[in-house]
Structure 1
């Protein structure tokens, strides 16, 4: 079996189309979506219209939740620009998303961690605003009670796999549509992947066990860069164009 995992599209329809086209060469048996599909200053409505007919198993991310669990005035600057693009059907799709799911009887899906959609599972934010690999003990602790051999998560936008002590494998496919970001809570910080590619992962069950292949797909970023810049999101424009926030 071969599973394609996508995550953190963040309304970037051009990146999503590039990834879906790339998948056609590899013919996965199943595609799963690990959340944060729409929020960001790009094409939320168009992205939702593309995703809904695919009927992918999709878990709800923190930015998805922020579109449906609070009034508009309390939404963040990744939600407010695009909320008006979303139809009642789009919003109901988000409300119906589970926070976690299991596919193929042995693959566990969540957006960030099983108990918190805002905590990076594999990375840790340091006091200096930089990210590092989370310690093995902490990663193992966050996996307590999740007994499936393959665990898929997103949220950090960093493509990475971690093998747990008992052989369970955690895979983050990276971000389809947002190769970095800057934010100010709890400290000023930024994360940069240093390439503007659309990322996803193919994970295949082999005789040796589940084995990931990380795909980085080139696409024409010009339309999305221009849209972010026109809406006043210079950090987004920079990172979409270069992989660096700037």
Structure 2
């Protein structure tokens, strides 16, 4: 079984289409999506229409929750842009998405960790910034989840780690945004260092073991950056064009 894993599209339709084309070329039995679908200064409504038509197994990320539930004046710029763009039918679709999903006996889909859509799984954020989490930290966050594979997103960092008990934790990285900075829970930044769209394929071999493969895909990131700039987000424009904050 080969499962293509998408996360953190953030309304970047050009990156999404490039990733879908790459998946068709490589082949996959299923495609799944780990949330943070639309928020950002790009093609919000168009991306929603593409995803609705695909009908992929999809969960909500923290940005879906925020767009649906937070007061407009408390939202960040990316969520406010999404709220202004989505139609009522697209909002209904967002409301239908679960926060986690058990894809099959082996695979669990979460956005952050099994207990929170805001908690980082494979990274730790402290007063010094963001670093790779230790196996002990990852194991504590995995808790008692009995899946052999736990798919997570949220941090935009492509990474995987196999725990001593055999569970494989996989973050496919972000389809749509390769760098950002945030002040919560401590000031930190994410920089993947190149603008390619990211996704992963997790594959179960004949022996029953699962493995992860990470991919980076070219697309017209300069056009995406130009759109972000036209929509008043020079921070996104630089991140999209370079992979750096």
Q: CA deviation at 1:94?
A: 1.1
Deviation at 1:234, TM superposition (A): 1.4
Q: Give the gaps of 5 or more residues in structure 1.
A: none
> Contact 2:112 / 2:119 at 8 angstroms: preserved in 1?
yes
Deviations 1:145-188 (A, max 9, x none): 21110110000101111101110100000000000101223333
Deviation of the 1:141 alpha carbon:
1.0
Aligned to 1:49: 49
Contiguous gaps of at least 5 residues in structure 2: none
Structure with bigger helix share is 2
Q: Residue 97 in 1 paired to residue 97 in 2?
A: yes
Alpha carbons 1:12, 1:224 under 8 Å: kept: yes
Residue 172 of structure 1: aligned partner: 171
Q: Give the TM-score normalised by the residue count of structure 2.
A: 0.96
Contact 1:182 / 1:235 at 8 angstroms: preserved in 2? no
Task: Verify: 1:84 aligned to 2:76, yes or no.
Answer: no
Alpha-carbon deviation of 1:79? 0.7
Shift of residue 204, structure 1, vs aligned partner: 0.8
Q: TM-score, normalised by structure 1?
A: 0.96
Supply the distance in 1 between the matched residues of 2:187 and 2:107 (Cα, whole angstroms). 35
Equivalents in 1 of 2:119, 2:181: separation in Å? 16
Contact 2:14 2:219 in 1 (8 A): yes
Q: Which SS does the other structure have where 2:109 is aligned?
A: strand
Check the 8 A contact 2:126/2:185 in 1, yes or no: no
**Once the two structures are superposed, what CA deviation does each residue of 1:43-87 show, in whole Å capped at 9, x if it has no partner?**
110100100011111111001111101232222221112312101
Cα distance in structure 2, aligned partners of 1:105 and 1:30: 15
Counterpart-to-counterpart distance in 1, 2:170 and 2:235: 27
Q: What is residue 187 of structure 2 aligned with on the other side?
A: 188
Kindly tell me the number of residue pairs found equivalent between the two proteins.
244
Structure 2 distance, partners of 1:80, 1:109, is 26
